[in-house]
């Protein structure tokens, strides 16, 4: 059983996580909104940009979503020519994803704002704080 003081501190941590994520996504969300896109589109652009040639199945696994959840946003990115889809050379049934030149520019702009923000706040917090933050985020990512 978690005592009330610890529970209050954990609730505050939940709020910090919510507000921190809101601050982290605010600038990219505004850029995306001007294009009629959303945060899910950013996640797709980010991971496809990090791994050109990523298969649709690998993207599904990375994002932890169903085919149905990925279908509409991915189709939209293809329609607006930010992502290109092609059959793999070794297996024509496997579809590979790559960012187009415009997709690369948009992804660089979106992630660039977040890289600058993280550099600023982590630099201000110091290396020990960054190491602690990374440890917490890694554990949270594995907990799901």
Tens of pLDDT, residue by residue over 109-139, are 999 999 999 999 999 999 999 999 999 999 9
Distance of alpha carbon 106 from alpha carbon 102, whole angstroms = 6
How many structural domains are present in the chain? 1
How many C-beta atoms surround the C-beta of residue 124 within 10 A? 8
pTM score above 0.85? yes
Instruction: Write out the DSSP string of 105-122.
Output: HHHHHHHHHHHHHHHHHH
The CATH number of whichever domain residue 37 belongs to comes to 1.10.10.10
Q: Nearest-CA neighbor of 77 among 110, 32, 109?
A: 32
Reported as a single tens digit per residue, the pLDDT across 62-94 is 999 999 999 999 999 999 999 999 987 888 788
Residue 131's domain comprises 4-143
Distance of alpha carbon 16 from alpha carbon 143, whole angstroms = 18
């Amino acid at each position: 059983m978690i005592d009330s003081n610890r529970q209050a501190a954990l609730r505050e941590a939940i709020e910090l996580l919510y507000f921190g994520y809101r601050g982290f996504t605010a600038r990219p969300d505004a850029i995306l909104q001007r294009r009629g896109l959303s945060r899910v589109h950013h996640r797709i652009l980010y991971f496809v940009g990090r791994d050109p040639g990523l298969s649709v199945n690998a993207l599904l696994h990375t994002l932890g979503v169903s085919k149905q959840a990925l279908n509409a946003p991915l189709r939209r990115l293809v329609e607006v020519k930010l992502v290109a889809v092609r059959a793999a050379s070794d297996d024509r049934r496997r579809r590979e994803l790559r960012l187009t030149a415009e997709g690369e520019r948009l992804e660089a702009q979106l992630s660039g704002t977040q890289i600058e923000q993280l550099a600023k706040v982590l630099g201000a917090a110091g290396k020990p704080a960054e190491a602690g933050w990374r440890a917490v985020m890694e554990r949270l990512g594995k907990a799901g």
